[in-house]
Amino acid sequence: MIIDGSEGSLKKFLSDLPPVDQVGAEARAAMLSTRSIKTTSKAWAIDMAISMVDLTTLEGADSFGKVKALCAKAVRPDPTDLTVPSVGAICVYNDMVKTARTELDAIGGKHIPVAAVATAFPSGRASRAVKELDTQDAIDAGANEIDMVIDRGAFLSGRLGEVFEEIKIIKELCGDKAHLKVILETGELVTYDNVRKASYLAMLAGADFIKTSTGKVTPAATAPVVLVMLEAVRDYFALTGTKIGVKPAGGIRTTKDAIKQLVLVNETAGPDWLNPSLFRIGASALLNDLLMQRMKLRTGHYASANYVTMD
Amino acid sequence: MSGFEYASAPESKAIANIASSYGLFINGKFVEPKKGKSFNTINPATEELLSKIAYADKLDIDLAVKSARTAFTKVWSKMPAKERGKYLYRIARIMQERAREFAVVETLDNGKPIRESRDTDIPLAAAHFFYHAGWADKLEYAGVGSKPKPVGVVGQIIPWNFPLLMLAWKIAPALAAGNTVVLKPAETTPLTALLFAQVCQQAGLPDGVVNIVTGDGITGAALVNHPDINKIAFTGSTEVGKAIARSISATKKSATLELGGKAANLVFDDAAIDEAVEGIVNGIFFNQGHVCCAGSRLLLQENIADEVLEKLKKRMSLIRVGDPMDKNTDLGAINSKEQLNRIHEISNTGDTEGANRWSPECILPSKGFWYPPTIFTGVSQSHRIAREEIFGPVLSVLTFRTPAEGIEKANNTMYGLSAGIWSDKGSKVLWAAKQLKAGVIWSNTFNKFDPASPFGGYKESGWGREGGRHGLAGYLTSDAKASK
């Protein structure tokens, strides 16, 4: 164990982490965004990105019908081309989990996990008891993955032990029933030093994945933020031998954005992370752009938006 | 395919209209050299012939200097300053418009990755013209008195590592100050200078203001020794710089010399490690290490040395070596056979003197001139690889125990061009910057350039500054000392 569980040892560990130089991190991310991904590597990257999409709907207006439509899309993103892989997961609010799970099972999507956003998503402003109930409710409904939010207020005011405890408790509830993704909401943590600290805090507390954002706050999954998180999982692996996944979410809308993310993964955490079990992209509109670019590569011309399904 | 291999993504050569031969650019026209001699310029990545280049000898130099003198006395020094500025703005804009063409030609002739010529060399070269265009009518603020005068005809000799950028560093301030120039590009990289000559024609620059004479060291010597030159501006090796200083010592000629370097890149134990590793890589592998201010001596604080080296090696294994025209290439070709031999010669002393060589696995192309990214650990101050400029992708790693020892080792060199400091502690950065004897000091970054920032060295790294107000002042003289 790297830390003994006390707040003191946690604080000591996090404050001993090397700092992040903002200018340098942004320059590295900008350099990697100039990589030119063409032809065969583009085709490979598009299919990889599709298989990594956590197809998401997190709206007040979500209905059973909307969620069912999304499930159909998740299983067969392009009904005219069955070589297109299915997506990484479906991501919904708690009350939609059961519908999503049932629907996926019924239409050939048993292999697609359902992720639920829990712990008073997106703000995380609720009592511990409510957060625990929220999580338990999602697991009971059949969620395979829990996307929890950290208490940013506690983190920013230095109550790191509280944040750590909360993740640990949610992880215990997840047990072996659900994977735990921990949302740092980097747009509210603001500095890269905080992103690095929060990443380690979440990993030490038991996260299976660290996730940038809820998608409700901007900025969200910026390239330098993802870079810093990928460095964290890479170094955590060197330290512990455990591979933790990364999920950028929010603002990744185009194929170009997605491929830039894959380049970041490839040249930071390394090729081992180019795998839906260690890298996911939280998105909704992205999937259709990936499909259109896939068609373009295959046919040589752009199809109209009517050739992909709107859900 | 298995895994995320980047498919080749070559920049198109179609935009580069390289002629089969080039004359000398004298008095606004391309002319044949008097003796009709020429030499070849090749693509160092493939060894293919790019073009035949006119070879200028004494007679041609004399013609070029005469045309520069006439243009100086009759046109350029008399022109209202703001009009001179307009020409510089025009040149800058044309360079931007033709940026892709310049980048492709630069990469073909030099061997540097297209990403660097596209994102660094060409934009910075244009920026130098924009910056100095603004100075043209504000020379009284350059720090040489209230009525500064141009020095006259300037002979300029530039190296092969940043051909167009070094041309811009030389020509932009000279012209802004009202001088005319005769510029000799390096023997192995004349093409972008000749393309620049076309830009001068396109901009309608008066004949003779810029003259480009191509050739080798003998051509350069003829330029340096021409009696009607008022100033020599040279960038290149310390050896040649010393020879120039000797040959002008009994004349009225002034000189700016940008010479070699063996920069220390100091990483303290409180540095941002990941970004420091990026800075180390950028410091030594940018432009194949063909950089006079390259961070070629890495000084690591001993208590973080292992951690940094482990990360550095991992990062170095990601460096993509190969076809410079591929947009994803990080490390291109060595500029010439001669330079490759020199890198081999000095680096091999690292092995024989007991340092430990390491390079990531990489397959080098069979044609052309290549050297893998290389680090030597276990280097001590007395090793040749710690003292001599290798001018290639070879990094010497040394360690220090205390900040004071780090500074002492950093300054223990006959050079003093640049240095890097990596620390997250502001007070330490400021303290170290004060102690280091180097003309340019980067803190938490490396190899960053800006036209407004003066550049130049201490000790055997050179005389004078280029860029910014200080660089401009080198092309001006106070009223009393004005040239004929």
**For residue A129, what are the contacts with CB-CB under 8 A and spacing of at least 6?**
none
B445 with B368, same domain: the answer is: yes
Q: Do B274 and A42 touch (CB under 8 A)?
A: no
The verdict on residue A310 lying in a domain is: no
Q: Are A49 and A255 in contact (CB under 8 A)?
A: yes
Chain B residues near residue A34 by CB distance under 8 angstroms: 115, 119, 327
What is the predicted pLDDT for the residue at A310? Answer: 86
Distances (CA, A) of B284 to A105, B261, B396, B419, B462: 56, 12, 10, 12, 20
The letter for the amino acid at A175 is G
The verdict on residue B13 lying in a domain is: no
- Res A230 pLDDT > 90: yes
A16 is annotated as an active-site residue: no
Identify the helix (H) or strand (E) that includes residue B100: helix B99-110
Q: Residues in chain B whose beta carbon is closer than 8 A to a beta carbon of chain A?
A: 1, 3-9, 115, 119, 270-276, 278-279, 318, 327-328, 424, 444-445
Give yes or no for A17 touching B (CB within 8 A).
Answer: no
Q: What is the distance, to the nearest Å, from the Cα of residue B313 to the centroid of all Cα atoms in its chain?
A: 27
Q: Do A28 and B278 touch (CB under 8 A)?
A: yes
DSSP B322: S
**Over residues A263-292, mean pLDDT:** 97
Q: Do A262 and B328 touch (CB under 8 A)?
A: no
Instruction: Choose the catalytic residue: A147, A151, A257, A289.
Output: A147
Residue pairs between chains A and B whose CB atoms are closer than 8 Å: 73
Distances (CA, A) of B373 to B170, B358, B360, B388, B409: 31, 9, 7, 18, 24
Angle at A28 between CA A25 and CA A29, to 5 degrees: 85
Assign residue A33 the CATH number of its domain.
3.20.20.70
Chain B residues near residue A35 by CB distance under 8 angstroms: 6, 327-328
Residue from A35, A37, A41, A266 to probe the interface with B (highest B Cβ count within 10 Å): A41
The DSSP result for A279-307, as a single string, is: B-EEESTHHHHHHHHHHHHHHSSPPPGGG
Region for A39 from its dihedrals, namely left if φ exceeds 0, alpha if ψ lies in -120 to 50, beta otherwise: left
What is the predicted pLDDT for the residue at B208? Answer: 98
Q: How many Cβ atoms are within 10 Å of B484's Cβ, its own excluded?
A: 7
B258 is annotated as an active-site residue: yes
pLDDT digits (tens, 9 = 90+) for A160-207: 999 999 999 999 999 999 999 999 999 999 999 999 999 999 999 999
DSSP B7: P
Burial class (CB in 10 A: 0-12, 13-18, 19+), A12: exposed
The verdict on residue A257 lying in a domain is: yes
Q: Do B9 and A36 touch (CB under 8 A)?
A: yes
The letter for the amino acid at B150 is P
CA distance B16 to chain A (A): 21
Identify the helix (H) or strand (E) that includes residue B244: helix B238-247
Residue from A22, A33, A36 to probe the interface with B (highest B Cβ count within 10 Å): A36
**Number of domains within chain B:** 2
Instruction: Tell me which residue in A27, A48, A267 faces B318 most closely, judged by beta carbons.
Output: A267
Angstrom distance (rounded) from CA B99 to CA B95? 6
- Res A106 pLDDT > 60: yes
B90 with B153, same domain: the answer is: yes
The DSSP result for B58-89, as a single string, is: HHHHHHHHHHHHHHIIIIITTS-HHHHHHHHH
Chain A residues near residue B272 by CB distance under 8 angstroms: 18-21, 24
Phi, psi (degrees; rounded to nearest 5) at B13 = -85, -10
pLDDT digits (tens, 9 = 90+) for A68-101: 999 999 999 999 999 999 999 999 999 999 999 9
Instruction: Tell me which residue in A18, A41, A267 faces B272 most closely, judged by beta carbons.
Output: A18
The beta-strand segments (E) located in B325-423 are: 356-358, 374-377, 394-400, 418-422
Chain A residues near residue B447 by CB distance under 8 angstroms: none
Chain B residues near residue A32 by CB distance under 8 angstroms: none
Residue from B274, B306, B310, B323 to probe the interface with A (highest A Cβ count within 10 Å): B274
Angle at A66 between CA A65 and CA A68, to 5 degrees: 65
Angstrom distance (rounded) from CA B393 to CA B330? 12
B167 with B205, same domain: the answer is: yes
Chain B residues near residue A196 by CB distance under 8 angstroms: none
Angstrom distance (rounded) from CA B481 to CA B151? 9
What average pLDDT is seen over chain A?
97
Instruction: Using the structure block, give the residue that is written with the tokens 């980067």.
Output: B442
Q: Please give the structure tokens belonging to residue A242.
A: 């455990």
The verdict on residue B2 lying in a domain is: no
What is the predicted pLDDT for the residue at B479? Answer: 66
B309 with B203, same domain: the answer is: no
Provide the angle, in degrees to the nearest 10, between the axes of the packed helices A160-174 and A7-15.
Answer: 110
What is the predicted pLDDT for the residue at A305? Answer: 87
Q: Do A35 and B8 touch (CB under 8 A)?
A: no
CA distance B11 to chain A (A): 10
The verdict on residue A2 lying in a domain is: no
Angstrom distance (rounded) from CA A109 to CA A103? 8
Residue of B nearest to A24 (CA): B275
The DSSP result for B14-43, as a single string, is: TT----SEE-EEETTEEE--TT--EEEEEE
Q: Are B175 and B72 in contact (CB under 8 A)?
A: no
The residue among B214, B129, B220 whose CA lies nearest residue B175 is B129
Q: Which domain holds residue B273?
A: 264-451
Q: Are A305 and A288 in contact (CB under 8 A)?
A: yes
Give yes or no for A23 touching B (CB within 8 A).
Answer: yes
The residue among B470, B248, B288, B278 whose CA lies nearest residue B369 is B288
Angstrom distance (rounded) from CA B372 to CA B384? 19
Q: Do B327 and A36 touch (CB under 8 A)?
A: yes
The verdict on residue B43 lying in a domain is: yes
Q: Do A19 and B1 touch (CB under 8 A)?
A: no
A247 is annotated as an active-site residue: yes
Angstrom distance (rounded) from CA B369 to CA B391? 14
B424 with B472, same domain: the answer is: no
- Res A231 pLDDT > 80: yes
**Over residues A231-260, mean pLDDT:** 97
Instruction: Using the structure block, give the residue that is written with the tokens 């160092």.
Output: B44
pLDDT digits (tens, 9 = 90+) for A13-60: 999 999 999 999 999 999 999 999 999 999 999 999 999 999 999 999
Phi, psi (degrees; rounded to nearest 5) at B276 = -65, -40
The verdict on residue A306 lying in a domain is: no
What is the predicted pLDDT for the residue at B2? Answer: 61
pTM summary value: 0.95
Instruction: Tell me which residue in A24, A41, A45 faces B278 most closely, judged by beta carbons.
Output: A24
The residue among A111, A150, A106, A144 whose CA lies nearest residue A128 is A150
B218 with B297, same domain: the answer is: no
The verdict on residue A199 lying in a domain is: yes
Assign residue B437 the CATH number of its domain.
3.40.309.10
Give yes or no for A267 touching B (CB within 8 A).
Answer: yes
The verdict on residue B6 lying in a domain is: no
Q: Within chain B, which residues score under 70 in pLDDT?
A: 1-2, 479-484
Chain B residues near residue A18 by CB distance under 8 angstroms: 271-274
B288 with B329, same domain: the answer is: yes
Instruction: Choose the catalytic residue: B11, B106, B187, B258.
Output: B258
The verdict on residue A42 lying in a domain is: yes
Assign residue B202 the CATH number of its domain.
3.40.605.10
Q: Tell me, what's the ipTM?
A: 0.93
Chain B residues near residue A256 by CB distance under 8 angstroms: none
Q: Is the peptide bond before A219 cis (omega within 30 degrees of 0)?
A: yes
Residue of B nearest to A224 (CA): B275
Q: Please give the structure tokens belonging to residue B309.
A: 């080296």
Angstrom distance (rounded) from CA A181 to CA A244? 10
**Number of domains within chain A:** 1
B475 with B346, same domain: the answer is: no
Residue of B nearest to A275 (CA): B3
Q: Which domain holds residue A225?
A: 7-298
The verdict on residue A204 lying in a domain is: yes
Angstrom distance (rounded) from CA B257 to CA B18? 31
Instruction: Using the structure block, give the residue that is written with the tokens 């012209």.
Output: B175
Instruction: Choose the catalytic residue: B106, B187, B292, B389.
Output: B292
Q: Please give the structure tokens belonging to residue B20.
A: 């089969």
The verdict on residue A64 lying in a domain is: yes
Q: Please give the structure tokens belonging to residue B328.
A: 């994803």
The verdict on residue B15 lying in a domain is: no
Instruction: Tell me which residue in B7, B115, B444 faces A40 most closely, judged by beta carbons.
Output: B7
The beta-strand segments (E) located in B222-341 are: 231-235, 254-258, 264-267, 297-301
Instruction: Using the structure block, give the residue that is written with the tokens 């810093």.
Output: A228
Q: How confident is the model at residue A4 (pLDDT cuts 50, 70, 90)?
A: confident
Angstrom distance (rounded) from CA B52 to CA B327? 27
B356 with B477, same domain: the answer is: no
Q: Do B273 and A27 touch (CB under 8 A)?
A: no
The verdict on residue B351 lying in a domain is: yes
